[in-house]
Amino acid sequence: VYHNLHPEGFFIFDLNYLPQLLPQNVNNYSTDEEGYSLSWSIRYDEKDKLWEVIVSGIIKGEKDHHFCETHHEKVYDTSDVWRLLIRQGFTVMGTYQAFTFSPPNESAPRLVYIAQKL
């Protein structure tokens, strides 16, 4: 990214925020709605900081469509993100709750990082 930006260009991106990824004592969820049914299970490998969710569902219709997906996401501490940005030559401009300029807090589902190539 750094090499493709113009001088003084901005790198703006968001990441899921760890406190909102981890389940609160519940690892399995399900919902049954009019047009679909979903169930998913969540695991977090603390050693590797890897979040996994397995989603299976049915999209209801004339012929029901069944599916199963596995999603993995590496979880990064804000300090690690900043360190990686700085190592690549960026200047960290700030970290905010998604869709705001408010500082991060435990209820933020996503964090936005803003860095600039100087």
Please give the pLDDT value at position 16: 86
Residues constituting the chain: 118
* Cβ(61)–Cβ(74) below 8 Å: no
Alpha helices in 39-118 (DSSP H): 78-87
Task: Give residue 19's domain range.
Answer: 2-117
Total domains in the chain come to 1
CATH number for the domain that contains residue 68: 2.20.25.110
Helix or strand or coil: residue 3?
helix
pLDDT tens sequence across 98-118: 999 999 988 888 999 999 999
Classify burial at 108, counting beta carbons within 10 Å of its beta carbon; exposed 0-12, middle 13-18, buried 19 or more: buried
8 secondary structure, DSSP code? T
pLDDT for 108: 84
SS3 content of the chain, % helix, strand, coil (to 5): 15, 50, 35
Tens digit of each residue's pLDDT (9 = 90 or more) over 27-86: 888 999 999 999 999 888 889 988 888 999 999 999 999 999 999 988 888 999 999 999
pLDDT at 28: 86
State the residue for tokens 């899921």: 16
Asked whether 49 and 81 are in contact (CB, 8 A), the reply is no
